[in-house]
Chain A
């Protein structure tokens, strides 16, 4: 983990958790061949929650959030996103994917398209928004992540931190109601981590529902309303951040936290 400091004052006026359910996961199980990756996952995410998921490598964090937008298929249990049950029906999957934004560790921008085209591609083709309007929206979000001046460059010409912020803007252009982040800062140099975390904090301040796999504990303490610890495919412990860090209950959590926090 890096030591990116969250030094800003966080505006909590819009960070409200409603009692409307955004994601409901019940008894979800997943196997890779014979390997049981996720075991009986139960998780309810309410609208407006900022959840940080942590855990040792290979514990199934990525797999869990990738199941939520059907990048991975689960074999047992039920996932309901925004009232739509995730089944093998392609219509449902496409609907959920267009409502749920995802940000990857390696950005996954489209290298053959400019930044602006990256941001307008899905709105134009999936949402059928006129190009001009889509470009206005894209510029709005590029300004928000503070790189409007790069709009006509290609991803290969940007730094890692800038690319990741473009990736966030690209997701936001679809106006998602939920955002998933899979280790968005792990591929970045320390000085770029902060700019990406700042962008994510701003998003949280606006009340976005977020599921973030990260080892940035500073971010978890400052922004999350719940921290989930996973190990060997199970949710071992979850709590609000203050309790989670100061008073972990299970031995495994303690061990993990001592490894990651105490050097």
Chain B
């Protein structure tokens, strides 16, 4: 072979020379450093300044963290332990979190009932699975399994009675089996999550949520009956009126009658005992799930040709955006009392949820309007020319694209909303940041504690918000179909 080769070709190298290694300055870490940190005198200077700042910060914080105290009954004891470490030593006193974590998580929710919010929290992710990971069966299963394992582990750690843990385990296993065998059915968990969650959190008679659902059923029935004749907006309006009338008048009476006939339910927990992240998540999740549809309707209303719809939408959006959330929270009782029959005692958490929802919806409407405006006119025209009616065109063609464009803005609004739930401390609710911390500081043992609760609460908020942000990036990647 090499002979013929040599015979036919005068000079061809038979073996390749081994490649020479690149110079040291062009390799691995050194190359990276040179290109990214020291690529010029200005960059070098900035790198050095940044290194110095990091050094100073670490030097200040490290000893404080290194001397952390986890076991102490009071701030004074903490200080004694830290002082023993040496002259002028500083140290974090995490013992306060260890002592009061339950208040940061649950407020004054009765201890023996902690399993209820924990279960509601776990079920939240089961209910979210089909929404968040639509069509991705593996992710749905993973999320369901993780939520189940989490709930069971937490219930064990909380020392929940065995019977309850066993029942919850069976329930979670059943849901996992459902997610495995019939992932489409999991949507029913989503549909019925709200009343189940309400029952778990607030307790009371099962009939209250059942009759409340009857209101939604009424809405749906009126809508379905009227929609072919009078169109979507009027049918929806009529349905809403019917539902609100139902909730305002016969609802409570019917629920009371039913519970006197068949009294089943859970121990009731009043709203005043809610606090900490239980409160923040309750308000946040409810407001997020209702503000998105409301925001979409407002954005569409703002673009509508119908003068009244447009004026109402613009008025609502501008009013809500123009007023600080705290003002809205303060005036919540006054404002909402106008729309309700006199004498209704309107739950404070519900009141706050409604206002936070309105607040977020107004912002979302503007974010979504941006997405709608970014769509070329041709998309509307193509949908029209195919004979799709307004709602079909919006639902099938316009909104999927507009919402996709708006994902970063929508998620920003959600994150903002979630963090704004801490403002409810201004209306006397126990938010995790200020509300609970105040209560903890009121205890003589923890008077004067400052950084630790804020860092703890801040870290948990960060985790949740970062999670939302990562999810939105996943969603953007998943929905990218434009391959340009």
Contact residues in B for A32 (Cβ distance below 8 Å) = none
A102 touching B484 by the CB < 8 A rule? Answer: no
List the A residue with the shortest CB-CB distance to B484: A156
B479 touching A71 by the CB < 8 A rule? Answer: no
The smallest beta-carbon distance between A99 and chain B, in angstroms, is: 8
Contact residues in A for B21 (Cβ distance below 8 Å) = none
User: A154 with B483: in contact, given A90-B389, A97-B387 (CB under 8 Å)?
Assistant: yes
B379 touching A106 by the CB < 8 A rule? Answer: no
A110 touching B382 by the CB < 8 A rule? Answer: yes
B388 touching A125 by the CB < 8 A rule? Answer: yes
Q: Is B378 an interface residue (CB 8 A)?
A: yes
B residues lining the A interface (CB < 8 Å): 376, 378-379, 381-389, 392, 396-397, 400-401, 404, 479, 481-484
20 inter-chain pairs at a CB distance below 8 angstroms, sorted by A residue, are A71-B381, A71-B385, A97-B386, A98-B386, A98-B387, A102-B381, A102-B382, A102-B385, A104-B381, A108-B381, A110-B379, A110-B383, A112-B400, A121-B388, A126-B387, A126-B388, A154-B482, A154-B483, A156-B482, A174-B386
A125 touching B382 by the CB < 8 A rule? Answer: no
Q: Is A130 an interface residue (CB 8 A)?
A: no
List the B residue with the shortest CB-CB distance to A157: B483
The smallest beta-carbon distance between A168 and chain B, in angstroms, is: 13
B379 touching A69 by the CB < 8 A rule? Answer: no
A121 touching B396 by the CB < 8 A rule? Answer: yes
Contact residues in A for B382 (Cβ distance below 8 Å) = 102, 104, 108-110
B interface footprint on A164-176 (CB within 8 Å = 1, 0 otherwise): 0000001100100
User: A125 with B384: in contact, given A104-B378, A110-B379 (CB under 8 Å)?
Assistant: no
B482 touching A111 by the CB < 8 A rule? Answer: yes
Which parts of A92-110 form the interface with B (CB within 8 Å)?
Answer: 94-95, 97-98, 100-102, 104, 106, 108-110
Q: How many A-B residue pairs have CB under 8 A?
A: 72
The smallest beta-carbon distance between A153 and chain B, in angstroms, is: 9
CA distance A98 to B384 in the complex (A): 9
CA distance A79 to B404 in the complex (A): 39
Select one of A70, A98, A106, A170 contacting B378, CB under 8 A.
A106
B387 touching A174 by the CB < 8 A rule? Answer: yes
CA distance A90 to B306 in the complex (A): 14
Q: Is A122 an interface residue (CB 8 A)?
A: yes
CA distance A108 to B384 in the complex (A): 11
CA distance A121 to B382 in the complex (A): 12
Which parts of A48-95 form the interface with B (CB within 8 Å)?
Answer: 69-71, 90, 94-95
CA distance A76 to B384 in the complex (A): 22
Contact residues in B for A69 (Cβ distance below 8 Å) = 384-385
Contact residues in A for B404 (Cβ distance below 8 Å) = 112
Most B CB contacts (10 A, CB to CB) among A98, A102, A110 go to A110
CA distance A126 to B401 in the complex (A): 20
CA distance A95 to B385 in the complex (A): 10
Contacts A100-B385, A126-B386 supplied; 4 other A-B pairs, CB < 8 Å: A94-B389, A108-B378, A126-B387, A126-B388
8 closest residue pairs by CB, A with B: A98-B387, A108-B382, A108-B378, A122-B386, A102-B385, A97-B387, A156-B483, A154-B481
The smallest beta-carbon distance between B173 and chain A, in angstroms, is: 35
A97 touching B384 by the CB < 8 A rule? Answer: yes
User: A121 with B386: in contact, given A110-B379, A112-B400 (CB under 8 Å)?
Assistant: yes
Contact residues in A for B396 (Cβ distance below 8 Å) = 121, 125
The smallest beta-carbon distance between B2 and chain A, in angstroms, is: 47
The smallest beta-carbon distance between A54 and chain B, in angstroms, is: 22
B392 touching A111 by the CB < 8 A rule? Answer: no
The smallest beta-carbon distance between B186 and chain A, in angstroms, is: 22
Select one of B385, B482, B484 contacting A97, CB under 8 A.
B385
CA distance A111 to B396 in the complex (A): 12
A122 touching B388 by the CB < 8 A rule? Answer: yes
Contact residues in A for B385 (Cβ distance below 8 Å) = 69, 71, 97, 100-102, 171
Contact residues in A for B389 (Cβ distance below 8 Å) = 90, 94
Contact residues in B for A170 (Cβ distance below 8 Å) = 386
